[in-house]
Structure 1
Amino acid sequence: MKLTVLTTTALLLSSGISTAGTLGNGTWVPAACGTLPETPVVDDSDVDAFNKSIAAINTWQQKSRDYFECMIKEANADNATIADSANQAQAKYRETVEKVGTQADAAKKKLDK
Structure 2
Amino acid sequence: MTRNTLRLLSLILAIPLCVNAGTLANGKWSLADCGNKPEVPAIDQTNVEAFNRSVAKINTWQQQAKAYYECLVKEANTDNAVIADTANAAQAEYRATVESIGRQADAAKKKLESK
TM-score (norm 2): 0.80
Question: For 1:67-97, what per-residue CA distance to the aligned partner results, in whole angstroms no more than 9, with x for missing partners?
Answer: 0111111211221122111111111110000
Equivalence for 2:85: 84
Equivalence for 1:57: 58
Equivalence for 1:72: 73
Give the 5 Å matches for 1:86-105.
86-105=87-106
Structure with greater contact order relative to length (CA < 8 Å, sep ≥ 6): 2
Shift of 1:26: 3.3
Shift of 1:3: 4.0
CA distance in 1, matches of 2:72, 2:29: 10
Structure 2 residue runs of 5 or longer lacking an equivalent are: 1-8
Structure 1 residue runs of 5 or longer lacking an equivalent are: 13-17
Equivalence for 2:48: 47
Aligned length: 106
CA distance in 1, matches of 2:29, 2:16: 20
The secondary structure found in structure 1 opposite 2:86 is helix
Q: Given that residues 44 and 54 in structure 2 are in contact (C-alpha distance below 8 angstroms), is that contact kept between their aligned partners in structure 1?
A: yes
User: Quick check: 70-79 or 91-100, which moved more?
Assistant: 70-79
Shift of 1:54: 0.8
Kindly tell me: are residues 65 and 85 of structure 1, through their superposed partners in 2, closer, same or farther at Cα, counting changes over 3 Å? same
Which amino acid is the alignment partner of residue 43 of structure 1?
Answer: D
Does residue 27 in structure 1 map to residue 28 in structure 2?
yes
User: Quick check: 92-101 or 103-112, which moved more?
Assistant: 103-112
The secondary structure found in structure 2 opposite 1:28 is strand
The secondary structure found in structure 1 opposite 2:29 is strand
User: Quick check: 44-53 or 21-30, which moved more?
Assistant: 21-30
